[in-house]
Structure 1
Amino acid sequence: MKVNVVGTSGSGKSTVARQLAQKLAVPYIEMDKLYWRSGWQGTPGDEFLARVNLALAEAAAGWVLDGNYTRTKAIKWREVDWVVWVDYGFFRTLWQAIRRATLRSWRQSELWPGTGNCESFRRSFFSRESIIWWTLKTYRQNRSKYLAEMQDADNGHIRFIHLRSPAETASFLANVQR
């Protein structure tokens, strides 16, 4: 089984992806871990695509991929079986992003091993790189994009699973079988 879990930052996609990978007994691949380098530097385009390709090839029998990154769509959706879209309401998603940013800033734990990247209150609340700002900026765009993707005939090989609430998510996860 090959699954891409998508959704706006703060929606809970990483949590859903980890739980789904565990239930399916396949590797969990976090796109942010493939993208972010030390000092909050992103991986350049071709190198990032190569890293995604390699991660998927190494887990060829099945994987759960966590992340949006539109530029990777041709790679990640080439063989994907499901796209699970975690699409909770705006205020819930925003609250979850704020809560997560606050906890991460407080704990100062490294987000991706070896990068040294930690959230800070300044970065989370008073910066253009704020994950909260990113959530505000992309929520509506992501909804439009994934609604269109679900209708696109080119995606006819993909089963879209649209999760609109924590209850729907819990039910979905409870019913997933290996």
Structure 2
Amino acid sequence: PPSARRILVAGGSGSGKTTLARAIERHLGIPHTELDALHHGPGWSVAPDFEERVRALCAQAEWVCEWQYGAVRPLLAAHAEAVVWLDLPRRTVMRQVIIRTVDRRLHRRVLWNGNREPPLWTILRHRDHIIRWAWRTHGKSADRIAQLRRTRPDLPIVRLRSQREVAAWQATLGEPPPGGATW
């Protein structure tokens, strides 16, 4: 419902989960915790206390975060009050992830715990390079959402299939839905 205060943003890598989570934070005043910041330690290692930090997040009264990382997806889903699913076309996601990755690399942006995007040529050699990962895993969100609907049939899920739908939905944040409709 619109009164949800624990919100997950689902979608594949590069779909815009963090961007939308930040918009929800701005519009609704719900604190956003970037899951990548909890997950990545120095040298792209997994932070040893990742799951503990996610449990602490789930214990809070309100939050918005990305729904990713298999180790904590069930925990996040069990505490969520709503899910916003970015089910964007592959071409849109790939354009976004390529632009984001190139920008981060060219500007040598510091990400989490001092990490930076690897050299662009690594897309050719590393199977799990973020661009290859985004391509390979693009359809997995639909399977995860289908499973979520089976385990949490009570959980409202907003499915956004285009940038236009994302923009229209964002425009409604903080306002009562038209006609008394719910998410």
Instruction: Give the TM-score taking structure 1 as reference length.
Output: 0.88
State the distance in 1 between where 2:122 and 2:52 align: 29
Deviating 4+ runs (over 3 angstroms): none
Task: Say yes or no: does 1:17 pair with 2:17.
Answer: no
State the distance in 1 between where 2:103 and 2:67 align: 21
Tell me how far 1:156 sits from its aligned partner.
1.8
Alpha carbons of structure 1 residues 160 and 107: separation in structure 2 relative to 1, 3 Å: same
In percent, how many aligned pairs have the same letter?
Answer: 29
Please name the residue that 2:100 is paired with: 100
Please name the residue that 1:170 is paired with: 167
Gapped regions of structure 2 (runs ≥ 5): 176-183
Tell me how far 1:70 sits from its aligned partner.
2.4
Equivalent residue letter for 2:12: T
Give the structure with the larger strand fraction: 1
1:120 is aligned, of 100, 114, 118, to: 118
State the distance in 2 between where 1:19 and 1:124 align: 32
Instruction: Give the TM-score taking structure 2 as reference length.
Output: 0.85
Aligned residue for 1:78, secondary structure, equals: helix
Please name the residue that 1:134 is paired with: 133
Q: Is the 8 A contact 2:21 2:32 kept in 1?
A: yes
Superposed CA offset, 1:121-149 (max 9, x none): 34762323310011011112222322343
Equivalent residue letter for 1:69: Y
Q: Is the 8 A contact 2:12 2:140 kept in 1?
A: no
Aligned residue for 2:164, secondary structure, equals: helix
State the Cα RMSD in Å: 1.7
Please name the residue that 2:47 is paired with: 43
